[in-house]
Amino acid sequence: MSKLGFIGLGIMGAPMAGHLIKAGHQVFLTTRSQVPAELTAAGGVACASAQEVAERADIIFMMLPDTPDVAKVLFGDKGLVRGLSAGKTVVDMSSISPIDTKTFAKKVNALGADYLDAPVSGGEVGAKAASLTIMVGGPEAAFERVKPLLELMGKNITLVGANGDGQTCKVANQIIVALNIAAVGEALLFASKAGADPAKVRQALMGGFASSRILEVHGERMIKRTFNPGFRIKLHQKDLGLAMQGARELGLALPQTAGAAQLMQVCAANGLAELDHSALVKALELMGNHAVAAD
Residues 6+ apart with CB under 8 A from 283: 263, 264, 266, 267, 270
Burial class (CB in 10 A: 0-12, 13-18, 19+), 37: exposed
CA atoms within 13 A of residue 228's CA, in its CB half-sphere: 5
Which of 88, 170, 234, 238 is catalytic? The answer is 170
161: part of which helix (H) or strand (E)?
A: strand 154-161
Q: What is the DSSP string of 206-271?
A: TTSTT--HHHHHHHHHHHHT----SSBHHHHHHHHHHHHHHHHHHT---HHHHHHHHHHHHHHHTT
Please give the Cα distance from 27 to 8 (Å, whole number). Answer: 13
C-alpha distance from residue 221 to each of 134, 174, 199, 255 (Å): 25, 18, 11, 26
Compute the C-alpha angle 172/177/183, nearest 5°: 130
CA distance 162 to 247: 20
- Look up 88 and say whether it is catalytic: no
Calpha distance 62→78 (Å, rounded): 15
Q: From CA 181, how far away is CA 195, in angstroms rounded?
A: 21
Closest Cα to residue 232, out of 279, 274, 268, 281?
Answer: 274
Residue 54 parent element (H or E): helix 50-56
Q: Could you list the active site residues?
A: 170
